[in-house]
Structure 1
């Protein structure tokens, strides 16, 4: 008997009909002889509604209009008490539906397991899970329906793991239970070589390494939360990304044997027989560019720029520095689009210390990335990529690389053309590889 963790996202439990469909997936695994722990998100849109109520109760808009940092004074403990209730509702409803289908089940909240976290409310990190009672119930044939996204912090206060935290809950539970697999049910049937809306010939990958999935998740692919992939890689939890709508009632019968064809398996690199040079093309439009002109070229100036940004919790990504002969340097870097206004304000306040001539910011950019573990053993990937973009008249404003990734910053107007160009260049338009 295999022990499986099944996780259903918000769109998969958006209403009672979809909760019943999720229950059918669970029942299928139970009838196959598997022990099942199920992790659920709140119904689609419910967390946003709960956050909206918190902000309304706090007078968020009024405080913003008065120039206050409206979110800084939230009582994070009470925020967590409110927003965690969405998962509590879903877990109870799914347990009831399973019971109605004749499946022995009960709901579990984070504090009941307990799933222990640190005290960083709204973005807590898991520090331990006690699964002894849970494991005993599972071995006795009972399905555990666990509220994702939540745990118990010191002083017995409910905590939440940050938006998208149910994926992390599921992977952490899979690691603690030593589950054979963690199946993430979502509204897509796996991880694709790129966005099919941009490239119709994009196809689903049968398998992808943890490292590739981590890069794709951090570079714009929204299939899995980055923290959950990091945890899966650290703890060796095999993750299967699959569609919650593959039940016959939704138009598709899943295969009877094995995981191939069910979705995309995220696993160790050595489980993948044939490595591709490039496995996928990711893109992100939520980037912003900041440029400081004519900074004195001297030791310590970079620290004067990036120190205040770090203190403001603003993450910096790609950095380009151009030094001129007159002793000045221009510095360009990227931040999340949502952080642009804050970044500019921080740098304006630090102008006297930095000593720049001008400060500019823009959001009309996009980041396009080629990702693949095969880059480690193949030379010339960057040259091919840059030549192909040049042939299409696409100018590269910045470049960043890792062992398995090459990212370029380009004008946003060329994002889709760049994605299509690179997808074809690296032989991803069909299952035949170059």
Structure 2
């Protein structure tokens, strides 16, 4: 017997037929003698509808009331799934965030989980009752409903699994696992049977949409094994997907695991910046104060050392603000030109095996050069190499790197 947390996203609970399908997945686990907690999202499109209603009611609105409204979608889904399970003869009840309670900080709209009360929940699971938990929501220190931000139901599921010391957290979605890259771009992409928490964290932060970054962080910190699988697979059969767990033995690990890409990057370049101590802080200090996250940074110094060019990237959503913040420093910095470009993409090579293999970066650069793909900027970590390229070359770059590292499906 195992204790399992199952999470179902919006497409998996889009209507009553799909909720009944979810119930059959739950039934399979209870029939096997497992203790089951289920975390559900709102029905597909419901959160967007509720957000739109808040904005229509008032362009500027109270974040506390916004959370009260948008969290209601998960209440509906959890109640409906509990009703369906009960009709199937399965002992089940729904739980809202405040009933557990799921304690969070007071950052409405983007709250972080601080503590989960599990005594009653754990007792009910031990008695064979299925807990159907509304994802995405919690309770602030002032006993106000909070929400965890978009994709927060993944975070709820992993947090509940950690608090309950679950054997596994199964994330059911509309794909059957984590792939070596986007199958829509590379038909030969293959499903990975297993990846490490660290690799998945890089993949999630670099464009892979399978799991929310915060959920992966929680899973890694609390060592929660996570299975990504499809809710549309046969509910009578055990789930098949990708297991995300602690680092795999280096002997078993491929050098490169996956190729990810992110289209939401923007490039900012300062030309002819006087090269003097404190210049970098004068550029990036104001950006930090404006809560603008900077990713890639490249600096080129002139031959005589008197001037430098600085290039960096920011999320596209922050591009206009970033340009305005830097422009405001023109008098202080004395740069020549300020240039920007949103028609760029970040492509990343990821793999824990990179730690113990030389030449991984050189292989990528050579392959891209042979395809005449210009690299605008580069960042690296122990298990990642990211390059910034023109958006027009996205698919070519992904296919090229996927092939050169031998990630294509075997015949």
Question: TM-score when scaled to structure 1?
Answer: 0.92
Q: Deviations over 1:249-276 (max 9, x none)?
A: xxxx63x5xx6xx000000113686100
CA contact (8 A) 2:82 2:94 kept: yes
5+ residue gaps, structure 1? 61-69
Distance 1:344 1:338 in 2: 12
SS in 1 for 2:296: strand
Cα shift at 1:349: 2.2
Cα shift at 1:305: 1.1
Distance 2:17 2:320 in 1: 42
Cα shift at 1:431: 4.4
CA contact (8 A) 2:257 2:350 kept: yes
Distance 1:199 1:364 in 2: 22
Aligned counterpart for 2:128 among listed residues 128, 134, 141:
141
Confirm whether residue 317 of structure 1 aligns to residue 304 of structure 2: no
CA contact (8 A) 1:208 1:272 kept: no
Q: Deviations over 1:149-200 (max 9, x none)?
A: 1110011100111110110100000000000000000000000000001000
SS in 2 for 1:214: helix
Confirm whether residue 155 of structure 1 aligns to residue 155 of structure 2: no
Q: Deviations over 1:9-33 (max 9, x none)?
A: 1111111111111111011111111
Aligned counterpart for 1:367 among listed residues 335, 338, 346:
346
Aligned counterpart for 1:304 among listed residues 282, 296, 306:
282
Confirm whether residue 169 of structure 1 aligns to residue 156 of structure 2: yes
Cα shift at 1:355: 2.1
Cα shift at 1:312: 1.5
SS in 2 for 1:299: coil
Cα RMSD (Å): 1.3
Aligned counterpart for 1:352 among listed residues 331, 335, 344:
331
CA contact (8 A) 1:207 1:272 kept: no
Distance 1:47 1:311 in 2: 31
CA contact (8 A) 2:136 2:156 kept: yes
* Aligned pairs, number: 410
Confirm whether residue 104 of structure 1 aligns to residue 91 of structure 2: yes
Question: TM-score when scaled to structure 2?
Answer: 0.97
Moved over 6 A (4+): none
Distance 1:273 1:204 in 2: 20
CA contact (8 A) 1:21 1:247 kept: no
Aligned counterpart for 2:307 among listed residues 307, 328, 350:
328
Partner of 2:382: 403
Partner of 2:183: 196
Partner of 2:15: 15
Aligned counterpart for 2:245 among listed residues 233, 256, 267:
267
Q: Deviations over 1:29-57 (max 9, x none)?
A: 11111110000011111111111111111
CA contact (8 A) 1:202 1:430 kept: yes
Confirm whether residue 55 of structure 1 aligns to residue 61 of structure 2: no
SS in 1 for 2:248: helix
Q: Deviations over 1:215-259 (max 9, x none)?
A: 0000000000001001100000000000000026xxxx63x5xx6
Confirm whether residue 281 of structure 1 aligns to residue 268 of structure 2: no
Cα shift at 1:350: 2.5
Cα shift at 1:359: 1.1
Partner of 1:386: 365
Q: Which aligned pairs between 1:34-73 and structure 2 lie closer than 5 A?
A: 34-58=34-58, 60=59
Distance 1:108 1:314 in 2: 37
Q: Deviations over 1:65-116 (max 9, x none)?
A: xxxxx5xxx4221111111111111111111111111111000001100010
Distance 1:271 1:7 in 2: 28
1:341 to 1:398, Cα distance in 2 relative to 1, 3 A: same
1:272 to 1:294, Cα distance in 2 relative to 1, 3 A: closer
Distance 1:77 1:285 in 2: 32
Aligned counterpart for 2:74 among listed residues 67, 70, 87:
87
Distance 1:15 1:357 in 2: 57
Distance 2:65 2:29 in 1: 37
Aligned counterpart for 2:319 among listed residues 300, 320, 340:
340
Distance 2:272 2:250 in 1: 49
